[in-house]
A = this chain, B = another copy of it.
Amino acid sequence: MSPRQSPSDTGRLAHFITIDGLKRDTLVRILDTADTFQTASDRQVRKFPTLRGKTIVNLFFENSTRTLTTFELAATRLSADVVNLKLDHSSTQKGETLLDTLRTLEAMHCDLFIVRHSDSGAAHFIASHVGDEVSVLNAGDGQHAHPTQAMLDCYTIRRHRPDLENLRVLIVGDILHSRVARSQIMALNTLGVRSLSVLAPPTLLPSAIHALGVDVADNLDEAVVDKDVIIMLRVQYERMREVHVPGPEEYRRQYGLTEERLARANPGCLVMHPGPINRQVEIDSSVADGPQSVILEQVGNGVAIRMAILSMMLSS
């Protein structure tokens, strides 16, 4: 049985595994809720009693200090109790199965698992096996999805350009292996941007890319023209054993966002990147640190969007 993630009549999200299948008004409600937390955060009131008494477990099978910290802060600022479990080996060290580990945590009355895993489908698998009282949030599973990243990206775009339906967005980089890109494409299409294009090295473009509802560009100098938002993806050499990818310098020459290229985009075109960035590879430092970059804003918005999603999953 597939886990129910669509909101119930009360608007509560049981799980948050993928953008796929979520309706436009659910995404808009997430963005609106994040606005509340972000506004409060700007006023230096950053602690909310919303999830007091709830227990949130960070279940990280894949190491990511940055993502773990964001979720820990989001949960803590909502006054939840947080337990961080890095389960590379400790869970299986006594030969316990994953399901027994889950059932054990569930029995301890944990309310929500934030799952990070290198296997596509892991969060979905876990959500299919937990009881009704436990919610599962996908913090990145293999090459499948990273839905909170996609939501924070949409949130960042909307804060600068509320007229989403007029925007032309370009995503550049390793689309094939990117759970971030997959989730971004679904979210941006659901929110109804005017046009959405991707550009990737040929070996890093999924064969079924058109089924995702995007245009495919093949020359970055031309593709940037008339764009309002350019999202650069991280080159992850460690995930690219089997495919041919150009080296850093050649990659930059063909697929890197330079000042020259950015100058060809629409005035005020936003520059985004999920981080961490490879400077002078997919993005030049002068662009990443330049006036059109909202990369650090994405990070801050990431806390607000995760507070929004956690509160929509758990508050009663």
Mark each residue of chain A from 105 to 143: 1 if its CB lies under 8 Å from any CB of chain B, else 0: 111111000000000000000000000000000000000
**A: contact size bracket:** 35 or more
Partner among B63, B105, B107, B299 whose Cβ is within 8 Å of the Cβ of A108: B299
Contacting residue for A104 out of B76, B77, B299, CB 8 A: B299
Q: Chain B's nearest CB lies how many Å from the CB of A309?
A: 16
Q: With A73-B83, A107-B297 in contact, is A95–B276 under 8 Å at CB?
A: yes
On chain B, the residues within 8 Å of A105 by CB distance are 69
Question: Which residues in B have their C-beta under 8 angstroms from that of A41?
Answer: 109
Whether A85 and B109, one on each chain, are in contact in the complex, defined by CB atoms closer than 8 angstroms, is no
Q: A108-B69, A109-B303 are in contact. Are A81 and B76 (CB under 8 A)?
A: yes
Interface code A76-104, partner B: CB below 8 Å = 1, 0 otherwise? 11000101010100110111110010011
Q: Which of A36-83 contact B (CB under 8 A)?
A: 41, 44-47, 52-55, 63, 65-66, 69-70, 72-73, 76-77, 81, 83
User: Residue A275 at the B interface, CB < 8 A?
Assistant: yes
A276 touches B100 (CB 8 A): yes
Which residues A164-214 have CB closer than 8 A to chain B? none
Q: How far is the CA of A87 from the CA of B66 in the complex (A)?
A: 11
| A-B pairs with beta carbons under 8 Å apart, 30 shown | A41-B109, A45-B53, A46-B53, A46-B55, A46-B109, A47-B81, A55-B77, A63-B93, A65-B85, A65-B87, A65-B90, A69-B83, A69-B85, A69-B108, A73-B81, A73-B110, A76-B81, A95-B278, A96-B275, A96-B276, A97-B279, A100-B276, A100-B277, A104-B296, A106-B296, A107-B297, A107-B298, A107-B299, A108-B299, A108-B303
